[in-house]
Amino acid sequence: WEHVAGAQPAIVLDEFVECEAAVRADPRWQEALRRRGVTDFSLAMVDSWSAGNFGFPEDEGRRLVRALTWVRRHPGDNGYARPVANLLTVVDLNAMRVLAVEDGGVVPLPPEDGNYSVEAAGARTDVRPIEIRQPEGPSFTLAGHELAWQKWRMRIGFTPREGLVLHTVAYADGGRERPILYRASIADMVVPYGDPRPTYYHRNAFDVGEYGIGTLANALVNGCDCLGEIRYLDAVVNDGQGRAVTLPNAVCIHEEDAGILWKHVDWRLGTTEVRRSRRLVVSSISTVGNYEYGFYWYLYQDGTIQLEVKMTGVISNGAEPPGGAPPRWGEMVAPGVYGPIHQHFFNARLDMMVNGLDNSVYEVNTMADP
């Protein structure tokens, strides 16, 4: 290893917990909540956002986060339904000490709970059960981390930073196994926010590199998100003390019907030929604070490889005064709750190996003749 002066490593899970405790214990933060009518600090929820360095001399060498606060109405409440506006807490994680509490003025807490539970929101009553059955089992085979399906073969990997990784993807063609990819993963992502106000402009999350999308992967043993004949792989990561931690069922593998692969009607003969498409799905879901990211690698029978990222969960929001003009940098999403404009950019690292190591990349554009 080589020491890089002035750099900070990624946040570890322990620091989220310790930072929340340090903020709750700070009398300046407690007084700011009292001004908003909150006295039970155990119901407060504090999210740590990496701050980087804003160029101030006193920031040099410090490991800073700018923490935001929400308040639950009761212990089982949706934590992100009632954001605390204009309150920002700066914490040095190395010292685990609150450096500053910035209060830009009291705004009433949003009035609604915004819970998503069946008890609060109800359940659909207009759908009947649907079942996916494969009585003879799935068409793929899994030997350790080696996965084979149709003409595809690959190995499934997992890292604390990137999460799901595909290795040595190959495709059988004409009696030979052709290499396609040496390695494929999401190497990083960035979520920039477009609101310039004090509690928003610093929100610029690198959810892979700063927080570790693999470390934050869901253990699907607690609730499966796939459907059908499923096979799982565990993932092993490290906690903040360097100890190995197993995430049960972090990777889900299953097959899906994917519509029509090929069809033709011979109207002269009155015959129809249809081939249905099937795809292999290798997926993993991670929770980063308010957001859930589902990463789905699809392999098709026509040789296509596709990556889909599904985002769900709750937006990172803020509160606005009742009756005022809505901010220019987002939308009101509920009474008193504001959703700031932001984007999600995903960076895929594709280490290509099509038919061997000597690969080139071309950009081809179709242009109209004059």
Q: Which residues contact 313 (CB under 8 A, 6 or more apart)?
A: 287, 290, 291, 292
In the residue annotation, 291 being an active-site residue is answered as yes
126-149: burial string, b at 16+ Cβ within 10 Å, e else: eeeeeeeeeeeebebeeeeeebbb
Contact 293, 207 (CB under 8 A): yes
Annotated catalytic residue, options 201, 291, 298, 300? 291
Annotated catalytic residue, options 207, 211, 293, 338? 207
Helix axes 13-25, 27-34, angle to 10 degrees: 70
Q: Which residues contact 291 (CB under 8 A, 6 or more apart)?
A: 207, 311, 312, 313, 314, 315, 316
Contact 285, 166 (CB under 8 A): no
**Cα three-residue angle 316-322-323, rounded to 5 degrees:** 125
Say which residue the tokens 């009398």 belong to: 27
Other beta carbons less than 10 A from residue 339's beta carbon? 18
| Closest alpha carbon to 102 in 205, 200, 206 | 200
Say which residue the tokens 């705004």 belong to: 107
Contact 338, 326 (CB under 8 A): yes
**Cα three-residue angle 218-222-224, rounded to 5 degrees:** 80
Task: Give dist(CA 15, CA 12) in Å, integer.
Answer: 6
| Closest alpha carbon to 76 in 119, 108, 20, 123 | 119
Active site residues: 207, 291
